[in-house]
Structure 1
Amino acid sequence: MRTHTRVHARGSGQAARGVALVADVLAFVIVLWIVLYLLDANRSNGLVDFVHDAATWLATWSYDLFTFSTEWVQVVVGYGLAAVVYLFVGHLVAGWLHRR
C-alpha cells in the first residue's frame, strides 16, 4: 500500500510541475510580446509576428477588458493581465495537484 501512495504522490508532483511549466511558458510568450512592443520591434520579422500572434490569441479575453487612451498602456495592461492570470491560475492548480 505504501508503494501505491508514493507512486501517486510522484505522479501528482509531475503533473503539478507540468501545469506550472505550461503556465510559465504562456506568461513568458505574453511578456515577451509586451517587451517586443515596448522596444518597437520590427513587426515584419517572422519571430516578432509569431510572438505577437500567439500573445494576441492568449490574451484575446483580456485585451479589451479595460480601455486606455495611450496605446502602450493598453498593451501593457491588456496583455499583462492575461500573463498574471495564467501564472496565478496555473500555479494555483499546480499547488493543488502537488498537495493531492
Structure 2
Amino acid sequence: MLPGMGEHTEAAQKEETEARAKRAPVNWRRTREQACGFLASLVRWTGLAFAAILVLHVIFVIGSANTANGIVSFVSSWAGGLSLGFRDLFTPSDEKLRVLVNFGIAAIFWLIVSGLLARILRRIGGAGA
C-alpha cells in the first residue's frame, strides 16, 4: 500500500458515515402508503379502461359499425376476452340486445371489482378508503 493511502481511505469512510447520519431516515409507513396508493390507482384505471372497451364494443354493435375498420376490430377482439363468462349469460334473440346486456354487465363487473380491489389496496396501505 502506498504511504498516506490508508489515511485517505479512513477519511473517505468517515465522510460517508457522517453523510449517512445527516440523511433523513426512511419513512416506511409513508412509502407503503404511496406504493399501495399507486397500485390502487393503477387497478382502478385498468378496470375503467376495460369497462370503456366493453362500452365501446356495445356502442359499435348497436350502431352497426363497420367491422372491417381497424378500431372496431381491435375493440371487438379485446371485448371478447374482457367479457369473461358474461358473453353468453343471457341469450335473447336480438343480437344487439344480447350484446348490450351481456357486455354491459361485464363492464359493470370490471368497475365494481376494480373499485373493491382499489379500496382494499388503500386500506392495506393505511391511506384510508
Instruction: Say how many residue pairs are matched.
Output: 100
1:21 aligns with 2:45: yes
Where in structure 2 are the equivalents of 1:1-100 lying within 5 Å?
3-100=27-124
Deviation by residue 1:34-61 (Cα, 9 ceiling, x = unmatched):
1111111101111111111110121141
Q: Which has the larger radius of gyration?
A: 2
**Alignment partners' CA distance in 1, 2:51 and 2:85:** 14
**Alignment partners' CA distance in 2, 1:92 and 1:80:** 19
Letter in 1 for 2:77: D
RMSD: 1.4
TM-score by length of 1: 0.93
Deviation by residue 1:25-83 (Cα, 9 ceiling, x = unmatched):
11110101111111111011111111111101211411111111211110001111111
TM-score by length of 2: 0.73
Structure 1 gap segments, 5+ residues each: none
Cα displacement (A) at 1:2: 8.0
- Between 1 and 2, higher relative CO (CA 8 Å, sep ≥ 6) is seen in 1
